[in-house]
Homo-oligomer: A and B are copies of this chain.
Amino acid sequence: MNLKTIVALLVLTAAPAIAQDEANENTIDPSIIPADIAAKAVALRERALNDNLSVDIVESVTTEVGSRRMGTAGDQRVIAWAQAKFEELGFDRVWTEPVELDRGWIRGEATAEILEPYPHNIVMTALGYSVGTDGDLVAEVVEFPTYDDLLAMPEGDSLKGKIAFVSYSMADYVPPEDGSGLGAYGEGTRARGKGRVEAAKRGAEAIVIRSVGIDDNRNGHTGSGYNYEEGVRLIPTAALSAPDAILIQNMLNRGKPVVLKMNLTSEFTGPQMSANIIGEITGREDPDRFVFLGAHVDSWDEGTGALDDGAGIGSMMATAALIGQMEQRPRRSIRVILFSGEEIGFYGVYAYMKKHADNIDYHLLGAEVDTGGGRANTLTSGVGPNSLAVVREMHKLVAPLGIEFNDANDAQAQSDMSEASKAGMPALDLRQDLNGYFMYHHTPNDTFDKIIPEDMRYLTAAYATLFYLAAELDVEFRD
């Protein structure tokens, strides 16, 4: 999940009061969802709750592919893996669509050491598309509690010869495990993205930030795509682990200089080809029109991308595969798309939208999972006013999974898919328990052991139920 995704989620966060759900499946209006279809949806839901497929898919991609940042060898591996997995799962059609990356990036190594007040190795990770340091960079650290404090320094040479250090702590604003922290995350991503430009404008040699996350591990949280500006000097940028950021603050509190040595061997490379990978369960009556399930296939590169976004890959592939195992195909098609290059700037969805802009009407209803593998707790929709009654009935079939309904009807799909929402595609969105998402995502800790299998099964059961109904019912969600 990257910054654009967060902005889309903030829209959801601002939604008004949640409608308390007290309905259950026995009260479903048969003129909206016929009883036989409702019964099939319930059977599917129960089957999904007992099927580990979504978890197995995450295990497969994290073990057989590993990290898969766009433009790397892992990116090529995952394109092959995804096609083979769609085939293995019985999808009717599988294809790829090319996505071009204008500029690749090699992470290289990131090492750092405090030299003064005494030598001590610390942990930092290069932010995405940082330039390297060209050998050891040694300079005194100047702390800014917030990014705005840095911006308040005059442009020119106010930070000449220094390493700027933005110590803003997302964790100070967000209880661990709390999903309310998207605003605190967004604040942290300001320095993560454009800090390299603003610090350079003030003469700094480099900029480091406290990792944007809520954990207390000696891991850096990476993030950001190419974020330099024409005409501004390119300076290295990295994220310190939270404990190391705290240590440097405590050292600075003594009033003596803190001198850092950092060495990043990151570098840019040339253009690369990647792809979106698409699998289809073909509808029996109306095959050209489809419900649209998304996740992003790329990941950051120090972990294996289990939560971000292996969980999306697993839940979305499993949702369609489980529907594909039913006795007959649903009325309309189901397409699962795995987008390339979300983390470094929505490359995959931009390519998709460019190619399919003329056919957006074929996209009946969409959703994406890009907030880990936690259970869904709230359903919101973004459909035409006449369809809201349908979504309300659909919700009754997932309410037993512990999902409330927010009837604001202002949802966009998450992450990449928000671009399709903006182009007019109706959407459903399930807000999830974050299960430590902001502790692990973008770090070396984003690994398969962080997946909680039962939660993934609950999540998948919810999407399978909703999108089976969406594909089966003869409803125009734009209406």
Footprint of B on A, CB under 8 Å? 59, 62-67, 73-74, 77, 117-121, 123, 216-219, 242-243, 246-247, 250-251, 254, 302-304, 443-445, 447-450
The 9 closest A-B pairs by CB, nearest first: A243-B447, A218-B444, A63-B250, A66-B120, A216-B449, A218-B445, A243-B449, A217-B217, A246-B449
Given contacts A118-B66, A120-B67, A302-B121, contact A247 B445 (CB under 8 A): no
| Contact among B67, B119, B219 with A217 in the assembled complex (CB-CB below 8 Å) | B219
CB distance from A128 to the nearest CB of B (A): 17
Which residues of chain B are within 8 angstroms of A304 by Cβ–Cβ distance? Answer: 120, 247
CB distance from A133 to the nearest CB of B (A): 18
Which residues of chain B are within 8 angstroms of A119 by Cβ–Cβ distance? Answer: 73
Given contacts A217-B217, A217-B219, A218-B303, contact A247 B448 (CB under 8 A): yes
A304 to B217, CA, bound (A): 13
Given contacts A218-B303, A250-B59, contact A242 B118 (CB under 8 A): no
A218:B120 contact, CB within 8 angstroms: no
CB distance from A164 to the nearest CB of B (A): 22
Which residues of chain B are within 8 angstroms of A242 by Cβ–Cβ distance? Answer: 449
Which residues of chain B are within 8 angstroms of A59 by Cβ–Cβ distance? Answer: 250
Which residues of chain B are within 8 angstroms of A123 by Cβ–Cβ distance? Answer: 444
Which residues of chain B are within 8 angstroms of A243 by Cβ–Cβ distance? Answer: 303, 445, 447-449
**Whose C-beta in chain B lies nearest to the C-beta of A217?**
B217
23 A-B pairs with C-beta separation under 8 A: A59-B250, A62-B247, A63-B247, A63-B254, A64-B117, A64-B254, A66-B118, A66-B120, A67-B120, A73-B119, A77-B118, A120-B304, A121-B302, A216-B445, A218-B219, A218-B444, A219-B219, A243-B303, A243-B449, A246-B448, A247-B304, A247-B447, A250-B448
Which residues of chain B are within 8 angstroms of A73 by Cβ–Cβ distance? Answer: 118-119
Which residues of chain B are within 8 angstroms of A64 by Cβ–Cβ distance? Answer: 117, 254
Which residues of chain B are within 8 angstroms of A218 by Cβ–Cβ distance? Answer: 217, 219, 302-303, 443-445, 447
Which residues of chain B are within 8 angstroms of A121 by Cβ–Cβ distance? Answer: 302
Which residues of chain B are within 8 angstroms of A65 by Cβ–Cβ distance? Answer: 118
Which residues of chain B are within 8 angstroms of A303 by Cβ–Cβ distance? Answer: 218, 243
A449 to B450, CA, bound (A): 22
Which residues of chain B are within 8 angstroms of A449 by Cβ–Cβ distance? Answer: 216, 242-243, 246
A115 to B202, CA, bound (A): 43
A443 to B216, CA, bound (A): 13
Which residues of chain B are within 8 angstroms of A117 by Cβ–Cβ distance? Answer: 64
CB distance from A206 to the nearest CB of B (A): 22
A73 to B297, CA, bound (A): 47
**Whose C-beta in chain B lies nearest to the C-beta of A253?**
B63
CB distance from A109 to the nearest CB of B (A): 9
CB distance from A310 to the nearest CB of B (A): 13
A285 to B59, CA, bound (A): 69
Which residues of chain B are within 8 angstroms of A445 by Cβ–Cβ distance? Answer: 216-218, 243
A447:B62 contact, CB within 8 angstroms: no
Which residues of chain B are within 8 angstroms of A254 by Cβ–Cβ distance? Answer: 63-64
**Whose C-beta in chain B lies nearest to the C-beta of A246?**
B449
**Whose C-beta in chain B lies nearest to the C-beta of A107?**
B121
Which residues of chain B are within 8 angstroms of A448 by Cβ–Cβ distance? Answer: 243, 246-247, 250
Which residues of chain B are within 8 angstroms of A251 by Cβ–Cβ distance? Answer: 63
A62 to B63, CA, bound (A): 38
CB distance from A244 to the nearest CB of B (A): 8
Which residues of chain B are within 8 angstroms of A120 by Cβ–Cβ distance? Answer: 66-67, 304
Additional A-B contact list (6), CB under 8 Å, known A64-B117, A218-B444: A63-B251, A123-B444, A216-B449, A217-B218, A243-B303, A243-B447
